[in-house]
Structure formats: C-alpha cells, structure tokens
Chain A
Amino acid sequence: MTAKGVVIHPEDHPAAATPLTSDRMISVIVPVVERVDDLAALYREFAAELERRGEEFEFLFVFDGGFAPSPELAALVEESDRIHMHLFSQRFGETAALRLGIARSRGDLLVTLPAYFQVRAEGINPLIDAVADGAELVVANRSPRLDSWLNRLQSRAFHQILGGIAENPFHDIACGVRVMPRRVAESLPLYGDMHRFLPALAAREGYRVSEVAVPQHPNDARVRVYGPGVYFRRLLDIATFFFLAKFTEKPLRFFGMVGSVSLAIGAVLGIYLLVDRLAGHAISNRPLLLLSVLLAALGVQLMGLGLVGEIIVHLRAPHRRAYRVRDRV
C-alpha cells in the first residue's frame, strides 16, 4: 500500500553546489525545543552556505515555551530582516513549532533545521539539489554516524521496528534536517508527535521521498542516555503511527479482529463448560466460567468501540478523499 521512498546515494549528488538561477525563496524553520546550541553561530554558518549558493532566503526561529533568544541572536534579528522569531508562551512541542513555522514562512522551499548542529552546513546542498531533481521531501541521513555504538544500536533498533511497519527503507527518519516544497509541507497532517515520522507520513501520502547521506556534525555526536520513559514514548509513537496508517479508514478492521478473537476464546470456553455441565459436573464453583464470560464481554465491548469509530469515519467521509492526484492528461 505504501509508496517506497527512493533512497538517493551521495554519489548521485556531487557536493559541489549547483548555482540555481530561479527567483525562488528558501525558508529555514528552526524549532527551538529541547536541545539548543549557539543559534547565532548556527545562523551564520547556514546563512553563509545559502549565500554562497546565491539563494534568496529567510530564517524563522520558533522558540518553545521556556526558551529565549540569546542577546547575540536578538541583535541579529534587530539588524537583519531575513531573520524572524516567534516565541511560544508555553511548551507546545516540536510539531506545533513546525506548524507555526510553516504557516508564517513565505518561501517556496522549506528547510527544517534543528536548533543545534546536526549536520555540517555544506550538507544542505545535496538536499536542496535533490528537491530540484524532483524529490518532494528530502531528509538527511547522518552518515557516517559519529555517535557512540550504544546510540547507533538504539537508532538501528528503532528503524528496524519502524521499517517493519512503514515499509520504507529509512535509516534516519527522525533527523531534523529536511527539505520540502511548501505545498508538501502544508498538506501533511502534522499533530501530536508526528514530526518524528514526517518522511514516512509524506511517503504514505504518495509523495516522492528520498534520503540523502550527509556527514554528521561532530557536535551532534555525543553519548545520549535516555530514561525508560523516553523509550516507552517512542514505542507508543510507533504504535500510533502504525494504527493511523492502517486503520484510520476502517477502525472496525482492528477492533473487530481483536474483539472477535477474544469473543471466540470466550465462546469456546463457554461451550466446553456447557458440555461439561451436561456431563454432570457442577459449574457453579468454576472460575473458568468467569474467564469465559469476561473474554466474551471484552470482545463485544471492543467491537462496540470499533463501530463507534466507524460512525465517526463515516461522518467525515464526505469531506475527505483517500487519494491524491499526481498527474492528469
């Protein structure tokens, strides 16, 4: 069902920047959440690279609640009309920051950049070139990875689990460096923690998604140790993504399958007890009867939930189309 993302290898995209003579504008959106490096330095490096390419560009810094621009960045914003800032009053998270950035930016081509050095500034070139070559969303694949083996192992495991579900051969799906045309960004359903799956989301919508290998920045490579809560949330994210990908249109397929298994086990146990009772054994003191009724009840309840889901989907159907047209003749 899913369109495969095309993986583009670095050799297909020479690092040398090809000058572009279009009058398009690039908007660089920087959501400032969690980890922050020197933003003024980040701006200077990437702006210099874009300048070198001869691009028209603007930078949008979106500060999540609790983050504030450094005096140096504030000074830059004062003197340049190419930098804009937006400050959230509370913590809304990365997806919300991206949404605001998309809404407030004016460029035709959007670049998302984490608030710290994830890739080297020159790594932006092959990404922009890949879009010029027809990709509709390009995500950086930090390669070679400079992280510790522990972090690399974690990332491997995460992508293994995800790969089994999303059917896309992504290697660094959560990388914050992405390039996409505005129309793509605006059509993606961004909510919750979906920014982590942006490339998979786009592939599911039928966009041509590609991954481009870009050298990792040394600052990005450090041992990151997370608490168990983080791993739990990641697994939950994957489960949500999986559910939404497969069953948004047909919730009863999911709830009905789980429910009917439960109902069937309950029914089999019930029939066994009935046969046993007819054979003359009392069942009034058998806890198995309770299990049988419990499973059957659970099955019926799950199916009921699925039906409510179906009603909601049915009500939304007139406003929604499950296809996107790529071409017409």
Chain B
Amino acid sequence: MTVPWAADRPYLSVVAPLYNESENVTPLIAWILEALGQYAKPFEVILVDDGSRDDTWSKVVAGAAGDSRIRGIRLARNAGQTAAMMAGFDHAQGQVIVSLDGDLQNDPRDIEALVTRLEEGYDLVCGWRQRRQDKLLLRKVPSWVANRLIRRLTGVPITDNGCSLKAYRRDLLDRISLYAEQHRFIPALSASVGARIAEMPVRHHARRFGESKYGISRTVKVLVDLLTLKMITTFHSRPLVGFLVATLLPLAVALAFGICWLVALTQFGPEKAHAMVFPGAAALSLGTAFYLFMLGLVAEVALSNERESATATPTAWESK
C-alpha cells in the first residue's frame, strides 16, 4: 500500500473522499489551492473517488492533469467513507495529514490553522463546526445526541466527532486502522492509543451542489457501533474483564429470582410454591452469566492468537 517516497516529499497531505460529487470536484480543487496559496511548505491534495457513478473521476483526472500536487485515487467500488479515507491516508506522503469532506461544506481556509495547532504538540486536531449549516431535525439533533453519548461512553471530551475536517500526525495514522464506519470515532480510537487531542472551531457552509449522503436511519447503527467502540477501546486488551462486568446484570437478576423463590417457599410452604417459574427464571439468568463468562474466554483465545501483531510493542510517542 505504500507509495515510493520521493525526495521532495510533501510535508502536508490534504485528503478528500468523494462520492458522486461531480459538481463539487473542480471548485474544491480551486478552493484548496487558493487557501494554501501562501503555504510555505510543499503539500499535496489526494482526491479519493469512492466508486462514484457520475463523472466525478473524470473531473478528478482533469484536475490532476494540470498540477502535479493534485493526485487522484479511484476505488473499484463504493467502499464507504471510512475505507475511502483509509485509501487516502495509505497513499498520503506527508508528515501531516488533513482530511476534509468533498462536498465544500468544510472550509479549506481552516487547514493552515489546524496544522499550526497540530504543530503546537498534538497528534490530532479536530474541527468543531460553528453555526452548522444542516437540517435541524435530520442532522443536528441526532448528531448532538450521538456526540453526547460518545463523550459519556469514551470520556474523550470532543464536542463534534462528526466533523471531517481534522489534522493528524502520520505517527497516529500508523497506529489506528479504521474499518466499517469508524471515521466517526476517530477521536475516541486515537485516545485509546494515547494520542494528544485538541479541538478548534472551524467554519461550516451549506451544501451547494449534490445531495447529502446521510439519513436518520444511521442513528440506530451508530448506537450499535458505540457498543463495539466501548469494547475495543476499553477492553480490547482484556475482553474477559468486559464480559465479567457484563455478567453482573444476569447474576443480579438470578439473585432476585432466587430470593423470590425463597420467599414463596417460606411464606406459602413447599406445596403452594411448587410452580417452577422462579427457579426456572433464576437458572436461565445464571446460565446467561455463565455463557457470557465463557464468551469472554473465547475472546481471550482469539486475542492470544493475534496478540503479537495486534498489540505490537507500545512505543513512545516521542523519543529523542
């Protein structure tokens, strides 16, 4: 996946995933070049066409033709935003990488400020969209709820997890592998590998061309993904601990039904308390607790098989 490193390697790589953004490609390139016109260090722009069905790719090719700083990657099929971002990251040559949306809603004029902030000693700087220009009920409310949940669950104090405009150090991206739809959880995943994270306000614009690729249906999916996130950030080195914590609930339920049974026995005597409902319910709950414990062991087995590669020796963030 690595591209041969040229001698005059760019310092900054700007990565933008594009999916059916035909009308936005050319203005986006122009805007980024204009915003970085005064930027002192060499930079590159990587446009990732995520299997678009319109003529996004030919616009990318046209944009790249006149300027060696513009590079395009075309994915064989629509692989989703996370995979498209990963494709961009894998091809980026810079030490500093900035991701932004391909729909002109992020403002490239914020790139320099993010990079400056990163250079102050952070591994990840997240944009925080000010005066967000999206539909209230469909976009803003679900996003507000999701952000609160992510904050509570992971303890990473980022206000706007969904903003694509972010700056990363190469070191950080080498440490996290994003898959499925994890681009929303980059701050939490980065924190779990020890990254120093900052957040700063960025501008946000209303969509000019094309359609939004999101809907409210994803909220339920985000909830399921949050459970996964908790598991892999908090318990990924000791899944058994996570599963043991989870056994507490069925154990408590089993205990409650056991007490019900005892009360029935002592109050009404054995002949009236012959119904097997309470002991049955207690046994089911106890069985579930036992099952979760066993699952935790299976997870440990899976982990031990991969341990060497998964938890490679934790290296220091900075060594001098």
CB nearest to B263 among chain A residues: A284
Asked if B277 is an interface residue, CB under 8 A from chain A, the answer is yes
Inter-subunit contact B221/A253 (CB<8 Å): yes
List B contacts of A325 (CB < 8 A).
73-76, 87
Bound-complex Cα distance A256 to B288 (A): 16
Q: Is A324 an interface residue (CB 8 A)?
A: yes
CB distance from B273 to the nearest CB of A (A): 7
Residue B281 CB within 8 A of the other chain: yes
**Residues on B with beta carbons closer than 8 Å to the beta carbon of A316:** 306
Smallest CB gap from B220: residue in A: A257
Q: Which of the segments B97-105, B208-216, B231-239 contacts the partner chain?
A: B231-239
Interface of A is mostly: helix
> For the complex, what is the distance from the CA of A52 to the CA of B237, rounded to whole Å?
62
Cα A312 to Cα B228 with chains together (Å):
11
List the B residue with the shortest CB-CB distance to A285: B275
A260: chain B residues at CB < 8 Å are 224
Which bucket holds chain B's interface residue count?
35 or more
Chain A CB within 8 A of B187 CB: no
Given A300-B292, A311-B231, A328-B74, verify A284-B303 contact (CB < 8 Å).
no
Given A250-B225, A293-B284, CB of A323 within 8 Å of CB of B60: no
Alpha-carbon separation in the docked complex, A123 to B82 (Å): 42
Tell me if B127 counts as interface (CB < 8 A to partner A): no
Per a CB cutoff under 8 Å, which of A256, A303, A321 touches B90? A321
Q: Are A297 and B287 in contact (CB under 8 A)?
A: yes
Residues of A contacting B278 in the complex (Cβ-Cβ under 8 angstroms): 284
Stretch at the interface among B33-41, B134-142, B294-302: B294-302
Instruction: List A contacts of B51 (CB < 8 A).
Output: 3, 206
Q: How far is the CB of A226 from the nearest CB of chain B, in Å? A: 34
CB contacts (< 8 Å) of B221 on chain A: these are 253
A74 within 8 A of B: no
* Interfacial chain B residues near A328, Cβ < 8 Å: 71-74, 91
Contact A311 B264 (CB under 8 A): no
Q: Total A-B residue pairs with C-beta atoms closer than 8 Å?
A: 168
Of B78, B80, B179, B291, most A-chain CB atoms within 10 Å: B179
Q: Which of A296-329 contact B (CB under 8 A)?
A: 297, 300-301, 303-305, 307-308, 310-329
A315 and B302 in contact, given A256-B227, A304-B243, A329-B71 (Cβ under 8 angstroms): yes
Q: B195 on the interface (CB 8 Å rule)? A: no
Complexed CA–CA distance, A326 and B56 (Å): 14
Contact of A308 among B83, B225, B299 (CB under 8 A): B299
Chain A CB within 8 A of B156 CB: no
Among residues of B, the one whose C-beta sits closest to the C-beta of A253 is B224
Q: Are B295 and A284 in contact (CB under 8 A)?
A: no
Is A286 close to B, CB under 8 A?
yes
A305: nearest chain-B partner, CB-CB: B295
Cα-based distance from A253 to B78 in the complex (angstroms): 19
Do the beta carbons of A297 and B74 come within 8 Å of each other? Answer: no
Task: Indicate if A229 sits at the interface (CB-CB under 8 A).
Answer: no
CB interface residues, A 224-263, toward B, < 8 Å: 249-250, 252-253, 256-257, 260
* B275 proximity list for chain A (CB < 8 A): 284-285
B2 at interface, CB cutoff 8 A = no
Tell me if A57 counts as interface (CB < 8 A to partner B): no
B3 CB, nearest partner CB in chain A, Å = 9
B258 within 8 A of A: no
Give CA–CA (A66, B268) in the complex, Å: 70
- Residues on A facing B (Cβ under 8 Å): 1-3, 204-207, 249-250, 252-253, 256-257, 260, 283-287, 289-290, 293-294, 297, 300-301, 303-305, 307-308, 310-329
A-B contact pairs, 26 of them (CB 8 A): A2-B77, A3-B78, A205-B76, A249-B179, A253-B225, A284-B277, A290-B281, A300-B250, A300-B292, A301-B291, A303-B227, A308-B239, A311-B239, A311-B303, A317-B178, A320-B177, A321-B87, A321-B90, A323-B75, A323-B76, A323-B86, A325-B75, A325-B76, A327-B57, A328-B91, A329-B60
Residues of chain B whose beta carbon lies under 8 Å from any beta carbon of chain A: 1, 51, 57, 60-61, 64-65, 71-80, 82-84, 86-87, 90-91, 177-181, 221, 224-225, 227-228, 231-232, 236, 239, 242-243, 246, 249-250, 253, 257, 260, 264, 273, 275, 277-278, 280-281, 284-285, 287-288, 291-292, 295, 298-299, 302-303, 306, 309-310
Instruction: In the A-B complex, list the 8 residue pairs whose CB atoms are closest, starting with the nearest.
Output: A206-B76, A206-B77, A327-B74, A322-B83, A285-B275, A317-B177, A323-B79, A297-B288
